[in-house]
Structure 1
Amino acid sequence: MKYRSEFLRSTALTLSALALALAVVTGCGGGVEATPTTPPTTPPVTPPTQAIATYGNTVLPGRLLVNAPDGTNARLMDLTTGRQQALPGSSDAAEDRWQANANGTLLVRWADRSGASAYPLAVFGATDLAPKVSPASISGVLGAADLRLSPDGKWLMAQYGDNFQVQRRLTIFDASTLEIQKRGSRLDDATVIGEPQAWLPDGRYVYLVANELWVSSPTSADSQLLARLPLPENSVFEGGGYVAGHSSLAVSPDGTRIAFTWELKRKNDFDTHVFVANIDGTGLRQLTAVADADSALRYSFDSPTWSPDGKWVAFVLYMNGAVVAPVWPDEPFGGARVVGTTGCDANPVYVLPASASAPTAIAWPSINRDIALKVKASSGDSGQWVSTCSNVRWIP
């Protein structure tokens, strides 16, 4: 199992000689009865499955696509009811990776089969999980980078390199043929270890180059500067400066705001934090903070994703390198953590309001029950706190 901190730096994604045909889908009555002389027999009624409070004492909208909560299989977690659903896995894959298109109607699954020469890929409806096309085979070496479908399913976007030695570049593929439509961006000289690109609802896309937000489209050869964000320098070298390619980016459902990660220096290392801003660069706010400024651990708040109503931002606190086990709080329904492979229980999924005026200080190894997510167990009546070795995506 590759932890996110590792596979973000395994900058390999080869998509060549591919063929994918993506089919987008896109009592009446009245009167008064006399009182019976003997009580009527009431047929037994099966009580409906009760929802649980998935977030504090309340629930949240939509579903969370959680990659590798147990090290292998992805799941959809309904944040309104707490029920979770396993996603169909590849028959012979070492690990499946999933993504959703920008409006959450389609799911894409690709299999990471270490050492294989081909990798199966399939598209499913996000509601009924019905296959939309027959699985295609991806030739070459497929790394861990995200494959992101446009809202209409016409285009596929990824940070792509021809092989392990070739630098990843922002690439747009025609989703019906997987032929390269466009390759290159202002990130070409950067070592990309994050996912600094995201689709806009209108079919264009934005990407972060250091502290600059740029916009382009699959059919345009140019990019335009949208905003220059007033962020602190994030270079690890003496003299300061900005580093591009280390951020992960998400766009709100209405396209007016972004959530992204940024590295901030603390003591002798850099933590990764989640920020939000308007698409024009105004309203910049930091959402996360480290509770213990003297902690020797490196905190990585990453994989930001917006709720369907645009009111919340979910993210993962990746603490794979911590030597201390997390302390999960007890809950009346059980509170067992979502865990399978060693290390997956170390990374809680948190949710914060996008409108928060100040950063929320988050400690380790204790888990903050007020902002952590919990769902029902896959079987039985117990519950689970949500954690993952990989990324998350919030869909309707």
Structure 2
Amino acid sequence: MKSCLPMTIIYLSLLFSSLIISCSNSDSENIDDDLESTQKVNGDLEGRLFIGGDGEGWILDISTGIYNRIPGVDWENKNGTYHALADFSASSIAYNGNEFLTKITKCQKAGDDPLSGYDDCLVIYGVDGTQKQGNHLFEDILGEPKLSRDGQLMAFFYDHDKSDIDPALVIISRDFEPISAISSPGFNVSPSLSWLPDNRIVYDRQQSIYITNNKNTVGTPIVTFDENQGQPKQVTVSLDGKKIAFILQTDATFRTRTATPWIINIDGSGLRQLAQVEAGRRPSFENLAWSPDGKYIFFTHGHVAAATTTDLGLIGGGYVIPSDSNNLVLNDDHPDIIHIRSYFAMKQGRSNVELTTDFSVKEGTVAWIP
């Protein structure tokens, strides 16, 4: 599946307290006025889900189930600022709560030759929607770029598609100055990374999860799995930097993914499976996100299908379980499992919305923020 601001793990407070106030936009202005904005629809759960993906940038208020589009980005490229094929993706939120990072694939042609490829762009936006920093990159960005927790660094994978050099993991400053880079033929097709509080990085590569030194891209394996166990993907670190949540993927096709959710301590100890499905069902877990206090884990479970007439996305449900769970069987009747409800139709700009457990996200980032 194609990527969107991860994977991964990014918490924002100032931005999204203001987002809930400014929800009148082209995607939600036709919603019924009778919609109760203060009604709690998911028990006592608090906070918001930051939902990225190709062409997506949404905030779901967990308590009320109401969606709002992230402001300040021309998500549909209506102004023609970028190439007609440009695709926006909300990639990550800075921990300082003041800005977010957007990836724009195919933002411009790489050359005058009609057969030349496209450049990708990274743009940092402030909470008021103004562009703060931006630059184009002459390579294809793989997965989702991530802002460091202090917002001063960016890390991402990219493919040297215009040369024979292997794909690379790089760190650059917010002013696009190079900090560190490492190339490797073993990076996964859709690699993921997650920043620690001390500017180390956790990332997946082949059958292992790696951890780097401070502001460095050279990693040391934390844990390695054999092919029967699966390939680690979608790594995301808890806010305190002590635990890593990830999925182990055993197979994936155009329409399905078989993957289970796991947690491991940052030192490689305490490996355990978070949840499983009932006998006879395919485990298809994705998009893990830690609650800000580390007590819960959000994830999606479903299958790949046509989310719109032109795009693919995950169709299924969003769930929350305690992060100390051990092989919890996914079942709506279990008291520790919350099947997230929301006014999902708001994302399609439809009126007469109803509360539902439907949930979809194009491959990208889901993060639980205050």
**Aligned equivalents of 1:80, 1:306: Cα separation in 2:** 16
* Matching of residue 175 in structure 1 with residue 174 in structure 2: yes
- Which residue, 74, 84, 90 being the options, matches 1:89? 74
2:92 counterpart residue number: 100
- Cα shift at 1:152: 1.3
Contact 2:259 2:285 in 1 (8 A): yes
Q: Secondary structure at the match of 1:255?
A: coil
Return the alpha-carbon distance in structure 2 between the equivalents of residues 228 and 301 of structure 1. 20
Residue number in structure 2 paired with 1:360: 329
Residue 104 of structure 2 contacts residue 120 of structure 2 at CA under 8 Å; is this kept in 1? yes
- Give the share of equivalent positions with the same residue, in percent: 21
Alignment map for 1:33-112 (pairs within 5 Å): 49-55=36-42, 58-68=43-53, 72-87=55-70, 88-90=73-75, 91=77, 92=80, 94-101=86-93, 103=95, 105=97, 106-112=99-105
Amino acid aligned to 2:211: W
**Are 1:103 and 1:395, in contact at CA under 8 Å, matched by a contact in 2?**
no
TM-score by length of 2: 0.70
On the 8 A contact 2:320/2:339 being kept in 1, the answer is yes
The amino acid across from 1:252 in the alignment is S
Structure 1 partner of 2:213: 216
CA distance in 2, matches of 1:212, 1:96: 28
Q: Which moved more, 1:281-290 or 1:306-315?
A: 281-290
Alpha carbons of structure 1 residues 215 and 75: separation in structure 2 relative to 1, 3 Å:
same
Unaligned segments of structure 2, at least 5 residues: 5-13, 16-32, 111-118
SS at match of 1:344: strand
**Residue 81 of structure 1: how far off its partner (Å):** 2.6
Q: Which has the higher strand share?
A: 2
Alignment correspondent of 1:20: none
- Paired with 1:223 and 1:292, the residues of 2 have a C-alpha distance of 38
Secondary structure class of the residue paired with 1:203:
coil
Q: How does 1:190-339 map to 2 (within 5 A)?
A: 190-209=186-205, 210-218=207-215, 220=216, 223-224=219-220, 227-228=222-223, 233-234=226-227, 246-264=232-250, 271-293=258-280, 299-317=283-301, 319-320=303-304
Q: Judging changes above 3 Å, is the alpha-carbon distance between structure 1 residues 116 and 344 closer, same or farther for their aligned structure 2 residues?
A: same
SS of the residue 2:194 aligns to: strand
- Determine the C-alpha separation between the residues in 2 that align with 1:130 and 1:228: 40
Q: Does the 8 Å CA contact 2:320/2:337 hold for their aligned counterparts?
A: no
Mapped to 2, the partners of 1:256 and 1:200 lie a distance apart of: 9
Give the letter for the 2:103 counterpart.
W
Report deviation, 1:115: 7.5
Q: Which residue matches 1:331?
A: none
Q: Distance in 2 between matches of 1:72 and 1:137?
A: 19
1: distance between equivalents of 2:251 and 2:310?
A: 31
Displacement of 1:75: 0.8
CA RMSD of aligned residues (A): 3.8
For residues 151-174 of structure 1, the C-alpha deviation after alignment (integer angstroms, 9 at most, x for no partner) is: 111211111222266432221112
Q: Normalized against structure 1, the TM-score is what?
A: 0.66
Greater radius of gyration (CA):
1
Gaps of 5+ in 1: 9-24, 27-45, 236-241, 326-337, 364-368
Q: Any conservation in 2 of the 1:52–1:59 contact (CA below 8 Å)?
A: no
Tell me the SS of whatever aligns to 2:297: strand
Matched residue, 2:124 = 123
CA contact (8 A) 1:339 1:387 kept: no
| 1:382 and 2:322 are equivalent in the alignment | no
The Cα offsets for residues 97-124 of structure 1, whole Å up to 9 and x where unpaired, read as 1122452623111222388444454323
| Count of residue correspondences | 312
Q: CA offsets, 1:257-278, max 9 Å, x none?
A: 1101113489xx9822110122
Q: What do the CA deviations read for 1:228-276 (whole angstroms, capped 9, x no partner)?
A: 46x5x225xxxxxx886x522100011111101113489xx98221101
